[in-house]
Amino acid sequence: MLTQIDVDMAEFGVSPRHGFLPDELPLHRLSDPYYSSWEDVIERLPSLLKRKALICHVDNLPVLSTSHLQTLREWQRAYQVLSFLTHGYIWNSAEGGGPSERLPPSISVPFLEIASYLGLPPTATYSALNLWNFKAPSSETDLSRIENLKVLHTFTGTEDEEWFYLISVAIEAHGAEIIPVMLNAMAAVRTKNSHIVLAALVKFGYCVREMGAILKRMNEKCAPDVFYQKIRPFLAGSKNMAVAGLPNGVFYDEGDGKGEWRQFSGGSNAQSSLIAFCDVVLGVEHWDSKDSGSKNQFFQEMRNYMPRSHRTFLQRVESMASIRDFAAAQTSVPELGEAYNFAVNELRKFRDIHIQIIARYIIRPSKQYAPKEDTGRNLAVASSITPEKELHGTGGTQLLPFLRQSRDETKNAASF
């Protein structure tokens, strides 16, 4: 018998069907002709980037008002468009040059307003690149099947980049089924219903295993060299990117002498509310590598890169009963502890798969591809001349140490 779930998912913008993906499919275009200049540029984004012509086109854009945006989907669409234009503008360096350290008012002014409305930073987040960047035949389509999906926008126009984003979309869609299951399990802890909790943990484990199977499909259509040299540079943020040519971050020019330097992480899987949810419901905690008594600041900061409603949802789930503590206390039901350890082990395996992909798509290419003299300064060039242990991810963290620590902390949660 099911217990009453303590959380109304819809209240937090979490879909019973699609999880942290939007319940309605993302808009393909802003219908108001007022925004046609934005839509015209992003429609040609790969071509403009290839011809090194984006900067000129963006500089000539008018500074548009956000007053014509009405629905949440329109605000999300505007955020996505300006996210792509922002990273394209910053990293579409001229021949032999470095990234742009200035973002013009045509992007800065509306982007700051839109980001504030959505509770997100004005940069290309996981939401812009993945959650709001896909299309399907209908909202009833099985979004966990990559073959049912198409991407809305890419920087490179390559199938590789499309596949890279859609892997995450499919994982989010498949993982959606465990959200109500685990909320129900946390409610069942209050009534000490070990049967419901046990079944939920088993369901969780098998679901995460399937998420890992989807992640393993990355190599089917995304080539490591294409990702490393052409795609990854556009995903980099402006924080901890001095080695890539942004020692001060980026100046968001608001016109009339106003503006400020800002530093943001780039798109990162650490910004996935689904993965954060998995950690929360299992009681997996991430700590500062230098101070074991302090929570890992990067994970805490990445919450700010999630939609506001999703952050609030995670905070609400954190306040609920602990499945880990319940499983540890039920010594008379050893199967419960076994189910918990099974769930944790599958999440650890998922992170192992992620590390293997990082090794194939970033670590190895960084040793194989020497930077060309005319490529300008970007994350690929910087990574190719950086020692392995100091390689940074697009989110700005040291890559391998961060991922290995996250994996090990997941493993250590299964300690009983």
Annotated binding residues for heme b, as ranges? Answer: 354
CA angle in degrees (0–180, nearest 5) for 121-47-228: 65
Give the separation between CA 395 and CA 362, rounded to whole angstroms.
14
CB contact burial 314-329 (16+ within 10 A = b; e otherwise): bebbeebbbbbebbee
Give the separation between CA 295 and CA 339, rounded to whole angstroms.
26
Could you list the residues known to form a binding site, using ranges.
354
Continuous H helices in 51-104: 54-59, 72-91
Instruction: Specify the pairing of strand 102-103 against strand 258-262.
Output: unpaired
- Phi, psi (deg, nearest 5) at residue 37: -65, -35
Q: Which residue has the tokens 């509770």?
A: 119
Cα dist. 12→20, 50, 217, 279, 317 in Å?
A: 10, 40, 31, 18, 11
Determine if residue 257 is left, alpha or beta; phi over 0 gives left, psi from -120 to 50 gives alpha, anything else beta. Answer: left
Cα dist. 110→67, 120, 253, 370 in Å?
A: 10, 13, 11, 39
Q: Is 276 helix (H, G, I), strand (E, B) or coil?
A: helix
Q: Provide the token pair at 117.
A: 């409305």
Are 114 and 82 in contact, with CB atoms under 8 Å apart?
Answer: yes
Give the separation between CA 111 and CA 109, rounded to whole angstroms.
6
334-358 and 399-412 helices, crossing angle to 10°: 170
Query: Residue 11's CB: how many other CB atoms inside 10 A?
Result: 11
